[in-house]
Amino acid sequence: MVVVAKIGGSLLTSAHDYMKVVEKIKELAREDDVIVVVSAMKGVTSKLIETLSSENPERELREIFAKHISILEAVSPSPEKGIREMSKLLDEALNGIRRFKAGMIDGKDIVLSMGERLSIIILREALRRENIRGVSLEGGIAGIITDEEFGNAKPIMDECMRTIPSVLLPILGEETVPVVAGFTGVTRDGRITTLGRGGSDLTASLIASVLRVRLLLLYTDVPGIMTGDPSTVNHARTIPAVGLEEADAMARLRVKKFHPLTFMPIMRLKPRRMGIFIGTLDGRGTRVVRRRVPPPIKVVSPRGGEIVVIGHDPSFLLDIVKPEWKVSVVATEEPYAIVRPENATRKMEVLDAIHSAILKMIGG
């Protein structure tokens, strides 16, 4: 059976990190055929965005590329082919900058796509070092066909359902690991697009849903979905399981760092038997499941002067909220509620109180 593993950029900072990912892929490949979706290295997409407004974009791009080449050399005993590919990409990136400066709409995405396009080369070579055959595929090559909203392109589902299997299934048949560049796609007429920040999540869930794989793994450096942001609440904890609708609400409301459309392909294509895991490479994290699981509210997050509370039964809040908190609760038909403190300065206090109630329900 097939597993899709997405490697988040937060996990990729060094040659050593790529080798750790290779170990994980080896482990997964003992049981399943593996498709890997890779993000850009940590911080690289943001740096690429900065080059667009830089005085000296060429120098900055060269620095970014030099760093990737040195990591490639560290993972690979024979890096020549990868280096050649990277130099071609550098020319393309410089051309992207020129197009962007000339006001052409596709210039920006050419530049932004580079982080993932470099990352797949490194991972492919890192796999090769361990005698695993990998093939690197840019999103568009892997069948991610999108509209022309550059910078925030949406996959065209009908087309992706044809193209993704036609590309990836034959590769799996050859016992080769496809290493797909997340975040990137292509328009019908062949221009590179990007899916918006965090887009590798969407790439992975789209491929997994279209192929109806056994398991979708979204690997990151945090142990899954937590009850709150550890920097804003006390004793934030990982929630062992959340419902798909809840996860979708977290993504769409940007309560968690997923791309807002991460769960869209799963909701639309309903690959019923697909398991979903979000968390660290060593297995700490959260499962996303089809059924409703306790507790009825799960996650709190500040948002402007308000508090967003995610959970399949947001009306449950009405039992928790105390009159002296002086808040109003807007429960919705969807799996979230908005809590408005009358006095915005009390927001963090109320947030922590709701969070404590969630911790109590989780127990332990």
Residue 198 interacts with ligand ASP (CB under 6 A): yes or no: yes
Residue 262 interacts with ligand ASP (CB under 6 A): yes or no: no
Residue 261 interacts with ligand ASP (CB under 6 A): yes or no: no
Residue 260 interacts with ligand ASP (CB under 6 A): yes or no: no
When the beta carbons of 185 and 198 are compared against Mg ion, the nearer one is 198
Helix axes 44-52, 114-129, angle to 10 degrees: 150
β-pairing verdict for 2-7 and 215-219: parallel
Q: Which residue is nearest to ligand ASP (CB)?
A: 200
Out of 40, 86, 278, 350, name the contact with ligand ASP by CB under 6 A. 40
When the beta carbons of 46 and 78 are compared against ligand ASP, the nearer one is 46
Residue 45 interacts with ligand ASP (CB under 6 A): yes or no: yes
Backbone angles phi, psi at 204, to 5 degrees: -65, -45
Distance CA 323, CA 326 (A): 6
Q: Which two tokens stand for residue 43?
A: 């911080």
Query: Binding residues for ligand ASP, how many (CB under 6 A)?
Result: 12
When the beta carbons of 184 and 227 are compared against ligand ASP, the nearer one is 184
CB of 236 to ligand ASP, least distance (A): 23
Out of 143, 198, 265, 279, name the contact with Mg ion by CB under 5 A. 198
CB of 42 to ligand ASP, least distance (A): 9
Distance CA 270, CA 272 (A): 5
Distance CA 286, CA 239 (A): 6
- Binding segment toward Mg ion, per CB under 5 A, in 45-53, 81-89, 114-122, 196-204: 196-204
What string marks each residue from 1 to 20 as x (binds ligand ASP by CB under 6 A) or -?
A: --------x-----------
Which residues, in sequence order, are CB contacts of 254 under 8 Å at separation 6+?
260
Kind and range of the H or E element at 337?
A: strand 336-341
Cβ atoms of residues 89 and 61 within 8 Å: no
Nearest to 348 by CA among 327, 333, 362: 327
Sites for Mg ion among residues 102-131 (CB under 5 A): none
Q: Which residue is nearest to Mg ion (CB)?
A: 198
161-194 core/surface letters (b: 16 or more CB in 10 A; e: else): bebbbebbeebbeeeebbbbbbbbbbbeeebbbb
CB of 324 to ligand ASP, least distance (A): 42
Residue 197 interacts with ligand ASP (CB under 6 A): yes or no: yes
When the beta carbons of 96 and 115 are compared against ligand ASP, the nearer one is 115
Q: Which two tokens stand for residue 239?
A: 């929630």
When the beta carbons of 115 and 143 are compared against ligand ASP, the nearer one is 115
Per CB under 6 A, residues contacting ligand ASP are: 9, 39-40, 45, 115, 182-183, 197-201
